[in-house]
Amino acid sequence: MAEQSAALATEPLDGLSTNELLQLTAEWEQFTRASAMVGHRLVAQLGRVPVVELGEPTVAKTLVTLLRVSPGEARRRVKDAAVLVERAAITGEVLAPVWQRAAQLVARGVLGAGHVAVLHRFFDHQCPRSVPFDVREEAEKQLAELGATLNPSQLGKAAERLGQYLDQDGEFSEPVEQKCWLRLGRQRSDGTSTISGVISARMRVFLEAGLAIYDRVHANQPDAVEPIPAPGPDRAPRPPADREPAPELDPAPELDLDPEPEPEPEPSVEVVDTRSAGQRRHDAVLAMLRDLLALRPRGVVNGFPATVVVTATLQDLTAGAGVAVSAGGTVLPMGELIAMAAQAHPYLAVFDKHTNEPLYLGRARRCASTSQRLMLFAMERGCTKPGCTVPAYYTQVHHAVADWAADGQTDITDLTLACGPDNRIVGPGGYRTRKRKDGRTEWLPPPQLDTGQARVNNYHHPERYLIPDEHTDTDGDGDDCCNPPGDNDRDAG
């Protein structure tokens, strides 16, 4: 198959006419769509294999490791296979796919991944859950056949309208609590992030009250503009401050939309606030969160103090340049860290470049101390399994060299950070962990998944992607520059 694809990839296309090019493009698209069914069948069959033989706790994670696809793509493939492939009953009887008509059209190359995504969105979010089974079958059949003549965008509009027909009175609508969500987007290169979500009326009431207190002109102004001269006799005086109308919230349901900046204020002896209403709301929410952490008693999240925890180098802190990293994985410019430190009391770990003083507890205790957790955050910043993006706040401490029951030591040089799911896959027949001579944690996959993938995680230290790894195991025997692997503990804290 690979040889045939290579031959087609090098086949000259210059001699084809426009009609032939168009026909070949359509036929190739139909072929690739139909061939996706082979992948769905393979994924479905993997779901019938005992988990202990996969090397990972789920089929999706197996695909991530084996195929080097993203977690989202792996979950999508598992989800598609669950509805497009024939099933087996408990008695061994072969059952038709959940989406019978859609499966037929995918196998024929009529529907693509975009059409299948629209069907998932319809049944997950638009079709009432209480709709009878026969109605759901008819809806699937109708949408699948519509997809044969519509592109995914057009099919999405049709599916949305069909959902409205099935839930005209809202009697099958989900509870309000299930519709509400809040999500922080990925951090951009300049440090900013997007925030999106749907809030309940109850949360809006609290937010409105907080903004009424914090969202005022000159309140929480991070960078005040220097005062300017008072108006001369040829200028109209500014109206008194007590007669100035208070800023109001936008009538739209989304509080963060403010496309137009506010008019430039008239000259005054007062400090000028040139922020737009949207910028003021941003600073208001920031002040509310800062005050909340300052007033409430500190809690603990997986052993980390539930407050601002950051790490930085002494050189960057002294120079006021560079960046710091929080326990949540956020990159923080040094100037903003210094400004925060002047107003609050974050946990700040400072090191000479990237060195640190190891902390040892030996056999005195099994669980890591708070100081050790903070030190592990400073060294590793998050889960150390290759490809894992979980930040330090949501990780556990794992004995990376030897199990506690096997005379393992609760020393900083033997410990590492791992999220709960990755911590549980370490053991006989699964992953193994060990410490390299440079102090980094290496994850050794089970033989059936060892396809040459990375064994250390650089996600939380992206600068390391640009530096050659001198400790790479080049021959695959697991002996290069590393401590020998042992039976690893899964519940060190």
Cα angle, residue 411 at apex, residues 406 and 416 outer, rounded to 5°: 85
From first to last of its 493 residues, the chain has per-residue pLDDT tens of 567 677 778 888 888 899 999 999 999 999 999 999 999 999 999 999 998 898 899 999 999 999 999 999 999 999 999 999 999 888 888 999 999 999 999 999 999 999 999 999 999 988 888 889 999 999 999 999 999 999 999 999 899 889 888 876 555 455 667 778 888 888 888 888 899 988 877 777 678 777 777 777 777 776 544 444 444 444 444 444 443 444 444 444 444 434 444 444 444 445 677 888 888 888 888 888 877 776 665 556 566 555 566 777 666 666 767 777 777 777 777 777 776 665 554 455 554 444 444 444 444 455 667 777 878 888 888 999 998 988 888 888 888 787 656 666 777 788 899 998 998 888 888 898 999 988 899 999 998 888 887 899 988 887 787 777 776 654 444 455 455 555 554 444 4
The alpha carbon of residue 104 and the mean position of all alpha carbons in its chain are separated, in whole angstroms, by 34
Q: What is d(CA 201, CA 338) in angstroms, rounded to the nearest whole number?
A: 37
| Termini Cα distance of the chain | 49
Is the Cβ–Cβ distance between 443 and 385 less than 8 Å? yes
Distance of CA 276 to the CA centre of its chain: 30
Q: What's the DSSP call for residue 368?
A: P
| Spatial contact of 38 and 109, defined as CB atoms under 8 Å apart | no
426 strand-pairing partners: 431
β-strands 415-419, 395-399 pairing: antiparallel
Amino acid at 55: G
Alpha-carbon distance 426 to 62, whole Å? 14
Q: How many CB atoms within 10 Å of residue 71? A: 14
pTM of the model: 0.64
Angle at 168 between CA 166 and CA 170, to 5 degrees: 100
